[in-house]
Structure 1
Amino acid sequence: MPDQPVTDPSSPAPAVRQGSARRQFAATILVLEVLVVAFASLVAFGLRVAPPSVVWGIGGALALSLALSAGLLRSPAGYVAGSVLQVALLATGIAVPMMFVVGGIFVVLWVVALRLGSRIDRERAERAQATALG
């Protein structure tokens, strides 16, 4: 059995830097929307709402935009792009009416993710500041 390093149980645990809850929540929503757009594209293709090249072109462009905006969330521009893409997701309801419902649910999730994530980040910062002050 290899020797295990002995740690002092009274010493405080090393601080673990947590990422932004807002960014985690927003990225999760955007990545899930990529899957929703892929399935909506399959539905639009199956219903023959437009020529296949149009369906896959629009679906692919929207899915790629959602994935890229998830990667841009380190800057405020990523949140703006994500918000604009929520409108585009709702607009897919023109071709597949059920997307008005599904898109609406994701818009609500997007707003909740931004608000709740911001609140969690603010509370974490307050707690860290209170701990630092002692």
Structure 2
Amino acid sequence: MRNRSVRESVGSIVLGFELIVLFLGGLVAWGLHVAPSAVVITGGVVLIALAIVAILTLRYRVGARIGFAVQVLAILAGIWVHMMFIVGALFLAIWIYAMYSADKVERQKHNETENPQ
């Protein structure tokens, strides 16, 4: 079993929690009939699938970019379910902080292995 990077660990936690929120947001959109059922279900499934792809590709830089796209799309879902503007913005802030912090920890670990005291 390979060691996961801090970016993978933290990113998968954020996206994992967001998967629950996206599912529940899709249920709210469906229950409020904000759009035809097929559109709501398709949009929800695509967004959830994109989050899963981001989790699976977090070992590469593209995974973080896909994760960022999920955050932006979650905010845009606020067009139909207005609370998603707030929820999406909160997850975007968490995502940015998590990715920044993970990179910082990775750099520190890298520097410590190169220059042991």
TM-score, scaled to structure 1: 0.80
Aligned: 1:108 with 2:101: no
Deviation string 1:27-77 (CA, Å, 9 cap, x unpaired) is: 211222111110001111111111211111100110011111110112111
SS of corresponding position for 2:92: helix
**Root mean square deviation, CA, Å:** 1.5
Q: What percentage of aligned pairs have identical amino acids? A: 31
Amino acid of the structure 1 residue aligned with 2:46: A
The unaligned stretches of length 5 or more in structure 2 are: none
In the alignment, the residues of structure 1 paired with residue 4 and residue 46 of structure 2 have an alpha-carbon distance, to the nearest angstrom, of 29
Distance in 2 (CA, whole Å) between partners of 1:18 and 1:88 is 30
- Unpaired runs of 5+ in structure 1? 1-16
Name the counterpart of 2:47: 62
- How many residues matched? 116
> 38, 41, 61: which one pairs with 2:26?
41
The structure whose Rg is larger is 1
| Match in the other structure for 1:28 | 13
Task: State the partner residue of 1:7.
Answer: none
